[in-house]
Structure 1
Amino acid sequence: MEIKVIAFDADDTLWVNEPYFQNTEKKFCSLLEEFLPQHALSRELLKIEIENLPLYGYGIKGYILSMIEAALKVTDNNLTNEAIEKIIGYGKELLNEPIELLDNVEEVLQALQGPYRIVVATKGDLLDQERKLKKSGLSRYFHHIEIMSEKGEDDYLKLIKHLDILPNEFMMIGNSLKSDVIPVLNIGGHAIHVPYHTTWAHEQVEAKLDHENFRHVEHLKEVLGLMPV
């Protein structure tokens, strides 16, 4: 492999993210359980989130708006001001959650920082992701930080062009086959899948990948056994 740049996803690859959203969703469903059972409300919220992605993008702010919209729909627009305040409060709690690094993150970044240019390539709200990076204490490891509205093939090609490398000199490491692996393989790059125990439903895909540029590891530290350092 002629890898020059290694890109890391952030949420649920470098630090904990999805469990915080799941805890918030439980509180949201409990708030409205008199109107709809939890499983049905969760499905409705997910549907509205996905419909709103072209408008709001990924991140907590869009999630707050989608929760309010879902609450208005299931209550037939009879949502109280108190309930709206609680939903906004859930969102603010999400924005203020501590950054919990996943196991061996700093060890891996330290080992890879010298031989390779290390970048972050993550989806989400710009302000929120910048805040997370600052709180994480990891910024010093990264040559470049790319906060993307989407992670499709064209988005990765744009990033690769900015980094002034060829696709086969780029490796992406992340927990999502849909966003971090498949589009990178499709453009001729390399990808390592590091699964996380919980993944947002919208990012889940059923795929068995057999590709010469693809690797799967169970833990991030195993990456060091695949890359010359």
Structure 2
Amino acid sequence: MERCRDANRNELLPLKRVSCMAAAKAESFFHRLAVANPVPRSELIFYSPYTLLVAVVLSAQATDRSVNNVTRSLFLAADTPSMMVALGEDGVKAHIRTIGLFHNKARYIIAMSRLLIDDHGSKVPSDRASLEKLPGVGRKSASVVLNIAFFQPIIAVDTHVFRVCNRSGIAKGYTPLEVEEKLESIVPDRYRLHAHNWLVLHGRYVCKARTAHCIKCNVQDLCESVHTQSISAK
């Protein structure tokens, strides 16, 4: 198998269908993110795979902060599928009405909880196919749960990951799935478990949507857009 050299460890890495330049760039990119934050954490508040799943469903078109503001009281009232079903759709709405699409999200959470009770013994399944059959759960949401709750080396592509990958050039794509597939082909195995959280946090606090804080970025020399973005130290 053709291999590329890892500049940080002086080892040879499998090429994995990408150029040595792309593989070397990915190695340096994720090595630096790892050094800066060895064990990144999701900023969603959760206590179990089920509460993570609920929080992820609520996070669609909402910030983690706004989700955390409503789940504090919601999870005190109901933190299992049976308790959530007992709380009911109107009860869920009373806790989450400050976030967008709360009517639909309350309906999804109750329907999802019923399916977990009926089909999975009230447990959150640890496979993609079963997760994506749950109401309100798409590919990205399933990937987040598999990665964070079940420690699977899956890279979920949300709006932050999509922006960072395209802006930096590390994994360009027109769709989240295209970006995900490119990340799967270039991210070294040892970085895959935390790659999603590293990219999310980088997009949330450094490579922001409106203003990229390039002067604070520890991978700016690897970025294709560093000279076209607004540079700010704020």
TM-score bin, normalised by smaller chain: under 0.3
Using structure 2 for the length normalisation, give the TM-score.
Answer: 0.27
The structure with more helix, counted as a fraction of residues: 2
Q: Which has the higher contact order (CA 8 A, sep 6+)?
A: 1
Comparing both structures, which one devotes a greater share of its residues to strand? 1
